[in-house]
Amino acid sequence: MARPYNFSAGPATMPESVLRQAAAEMLDWHGCGMGVMEMSHRGAAFGEILEQAQADLRALLAIPPHFHVLFSQGGALAHNAIVPLNLAGRHPERAMDFVVTGGWSQKSAREAQRYGDVHIAASSADEGFVCIPPPQQWRLRERPAYVHLCSNETIHGVEFHTLPDLAALGCDAPLVIDFSSHVLSRPIDWDRVGLAFGGAQKNIGPAGLTLVIVREDLLGHALPICPTVFDYRTLAEQHSMANTPPTWAIYVAGLVFRWAA
């Protein structure tokens, strides 16, 4: 069977060895007599799979201990709403600043407007989204709930090679990044990031899994209207098991983490 060259942004090509391992284990995972899709998410076998996947991702991205690794659902677009639902409450007027460098960050800003006071601190819309406005020219507020940017604009092709140091720009706020389309392709400077989120289907594994990596102090600010299973504190406290997680997607993502290690 010839496999085509597939440059789709997502769902995207998977390592062949991972697909073969998933196929080999489809009916029987490690001798337990059933496949991962069939087993209880509360059982010991799946617990092992989840823990290993989180530990491997932590190691791959050198995620510091004061960050939680959450395996959520909904895709990156759902988290365009879930992030403000969790973080906007850090500011009394729900002030959120956005840096818009392409279609995805533009979408994020529009969605966040439903939940608070969105300020576009910088935008390259007038240039057709072909550049990043120099950070020194961003009109950031002093202390918004957070600052959002998309670290790789999949459609417009604009990528941040270095993340901004908000403190040096006079802004005391955590940086939120949508890293959907370049996660695992580079190290992340966690000193500059408060929360990173992204769908797994581009760089990691099957659709259905959404990664959220969030600093401990950013938990616990969810607005009352935030659905409980999307409250990042609940997800952290319940080890990504507030409801049934996307077990198959987590398992395959775990195989990819092992492959990439």
Ligand X SMILES: Cc1ncc(COP(=O)(O)O)c(C=O)c1O
Just list the catalytic residues.
Answer: 104, 178, 202
In the complex, what is the shortest distance from the CB of residue 57 to ligand X, in angstroms, rounded to a whole number?
A: 17
Q: Closer CB to ligand X, residue 122 or residue 150? A: 150
* Options 61, 75, 81, 222; binder of ligand X; rule CB under 6 A: 75
Query: Which residues in 139-161 are b (16+ Cβ under 10 Å) and which e?
Result: ebbeebbbbbbbbbbbebebbbe
Neighbouring residues of 206: CB distance < 8 A, sequence distance ≥ 6: 11, 200, 246, 248, 249, 252, 253
**Location of structure tokens 């990043």:** 132
Least Cβ distance, residue 78 to ligand X (angstroms): 6
Task: Give the three-state DSSP class for 237.
Answer: helix
Q: Give the helix ranges, DSSP H, for 25-156.
A: 44-61, 75-87, 103-112
Of 142, 168, 140, 154, the residue nearest 101 (C-alpha) = 154
Residue 77 interacts with ligand X (CB under 6 A): yes or no:
yes
Say whether residue 84 binds ligand X (CB under 6 A).
Answer: no
How far apart CA 97 and CA 112 sit, in angstroms, is: 10
Least Cβ distance, residue 80 to ligand X (angstroms): 8
Q: Which is nearer to ligand X, 39 or 235 (CB)?
A: 235
Q: Count residues contacting ligand X (CB under 6 A)?
A: 11
Residues 32-71 that bind ligand X (CB under 6 A): none
CA distance linking residue 197 with residue 190, whole number of Å: 13
Closest CB 11 distance from ligand X, rounded Å: 10
Please report, as residue ranges, which positions from 139 to 168 form the binding site for ligand X (by CB under 6 A). 150, 154
Q: Shortest approach of ligand X to residue 44 CB, angstroms?
A: 30
Question: Binding mask 86-105 vs ligand X (x if CB under 6 A, - otherwise)?
Answer: ------------------x-
Q: Which is nearer to ligand X, 39 or 183 (CB)?
A: 183
Which residue, 89 or 246, has its beta carbon nearer to ligand X?
246
Give 77 or 223: the residue with its C-beta nearer to ligand X: 77
Indicate the residue among 10 and 133 with the shorter CB distance to ligand X.
Answer: 10
Do the Cβ atoms of 70 and 232 come closer than 8 Å? yes
Kindly state the tokens that stand for 189: 């400077």
- Per this entry, what is the length of the chain? 261
Shortest spacing between CB 81 and ligand X, in angstroms: 11
Rounded to whole angstroms, the Cα distance separating 149 from 177 reads 5
Segment 166 to 185, residues that bind ligand X, using CB under 6 A: 178, 180-181
Question: What Å distances lie between residue 76 and 89, 128, 131, CA to CA?
Answer: 20, 23, 22
Using CB under 6 A, which residues numbered 197 to 236 contact ligand X? 199
Judged by the rule CB under 6 A, the positions of this chain that interact with ligand X are 10, 75-77, 104, 150, 154, 178, 180-181, 199
